[in-house]
Amino acid sequence: MTTDPTAPPDGARTFAHVLTNTLVANVTTSFLWFALTFWVYLETRSVLATGVVGGAYMLMLALFAMLFGTLVDRHRKRDVLVGSSLVTMAAFLAAGVLYAWVGPEAIVDMTGPWFWLFSGIVLFGSVVESMRNIALSTLVTLLIPADRRDRANGLVGTVQGIAFIVTSVFSGLAIGQLGMGWTLVIANVLTVATVVHLAFVRIAEAHPSTSGEPTPKVDVRGALAAIALVPGLFALIVLTTFNNLVSGVFMALMDPYGLTLFSVEEWGLVFGFASTGFIAGGLVIARWGLGSNPLRTMLWVLVAMGVLNATFTLREWPWLCIAGIWLFLLIVPAVEAAEQTVIQRVVPFTSQGRVFGFAQAFESAAAPVTAFLVAPLAEFWIIPLLESEEGARQWEWLVGTGDARGIALIFFFAGLTMVALALAAFGTRSYRLLSERYREEAAADAADARPQA
């Protein structure tokens, strides 16, 4: 049985403060990152450019995630939150200064150095902020009793949904109405606000103990050792990785698809409305949890996600696109919450940061691979094929007619791949072993919580 810290009496209240602070931080980085993606596509009209920008984010996340997880395990969680906020604040301030100095015309030129420097600075600030999410996952274990962690993870999903709404609506409106300059100003003000708020948040936590022996700055061995202790846990990470390979397709092509159907302001509003599904999904989990076997719930949700991804662009109907995105975001929190709940239950608290970091690194590395492959494949082959008279006629029976049928065809086959992977996972030995381990840990925790006679 894993040994977890006892949740303090005011744990839920402290968690609410941290969750609110993380909401503002996530809104800020997502707001700026979405705005950058919109701005790049509108200025260049290049699917390749958006694919590179999106893929670079996931690649950097993969490269730094293990370092972030190690830092979370070796430091107090509040120190991690403050440190990541300060680094993000410095990066966004530097991006604002660079934008004011060289001007938007120079920055948007992909053939020059300023585009890559500017994007890189925003990218770095956004990636460092993601360390908060690893810390937040371990804080659920620290502050929330074991039998309510799936519901707390549902609240995390709700917060992500709120962030998605604010980000989606205001990123599009900011770029469409204010421009990149004022977007940078807004991001900087919000980042400073999170730092100020953290100064008033206190988290009761002892300093993590150390063995006294020299340890690597990126403790991959420690993460692998913790994962190896739980049969089937590595397979869960591999499954999520394959899911992210498929998700990389949508990361690379979703904005170009949406901006074909809608203006940038409309596209932001569409995502804002659809993100209410994310909030609803998180609230459902917060109210009812994930059932007795979160892993089984996760696999069925992945099947549903694959079906949605394969069908929501089969016709170039705005209402179909909006409905598909809303339903997709409705069930996304269940996948995230299920993985977090399983890890929080079966992995010791002292190792959770490294395990979450390893999982994030492994899973995040998959999406940019697909994005970097799919973006040029779409731009130079699939989209031109479906725009040709022969190609359009050949595939009209499946994807209909319109300006973005090449992207729709890619989405269709990517969605079917996701369905096949999830269904295949049900028959694996790893699924059975990890499900049994989760049930054993849940039963042991329930026995410990039972009043003694």
Model confidence over 238-252: pLDDT tens digits?
777 777 667 667 767
When pLDDT is cut at 50, 70 and 90, the band that residue 329 belongs to is confident
Query: What pLDDT, in 10s, does the model give residues 253-268?
Result: 887 888 888 887 788 7
Residue 1 included in any domain: no
Reported confidence tier of residue 27, pLDDT bands at 50, 70, 90: confident
More confident residue, 122 or 222: 122
> Does a structural domain hold residue 215?
no
What's the average model confidence in pLDDT over 296-317?
91
Cα(164)–Cα(26) distance, integer angstroms: 9
Q: What is the pLDDT of residue 89?
A: 93
Query: Rounded distance, CA 295 to CA 236, Å?
Result: 8
Sign of the CA dihedral 188, 76, 64, 250? negative
CA distance 350 to 370: 33
pTM over 0.75: no
- Asked whether residue 318 carries a pLDDT value surpassing 60, the answer given is yes
Residue 366 lies in a domain: yes
Q: Which CATH number belongs to the domain containing residue 113 in this structure?
A: 1.20.1250.20
Query: Is residue 5 in some structural domain?
Result: no
pLDDT at 452 over 50: no
Residue 278 pLDDT class (50, 70, 90 cuts): confident
Question: What is the structure's pLDDT at 212?
Answer: 53
pLDDT of 13 higher than 50: yes
Residue 17 belongs to what H/E stretch? helix 11-44
- Between CA 345 and CA 350 the distance in angstroms is 13
Is residue 213, in this structure, part of any structural domain at all?
no
- Integer angstrom CA distances of residue 146 from 152, 393, 404, 418, 442: 10, 56, 47, 31, 8
Share of the chain above pLDDT 70, in %: 86
Instruction: Work out how many domains the chain is built from and give that number.
Output: 1
* Whole-angstrom distance, CA of residue 207 vs CA of residue 204: 10
Confidence of residue 428 (pLDDT cuts 50, 70, 90): confident
358: in domain? yes
Is 297 domain-assigned? yes
Q: Which domain holds residue 39?
A: 11-202+220-448
DSSP string of 242-309, one letter each residue: HHHHHHHHHHHHHHHHHHHHS-HHHHHHHHHHHTHHHHHHHHHHHHH-S-S-HHHHHHHHHHHHHHHH
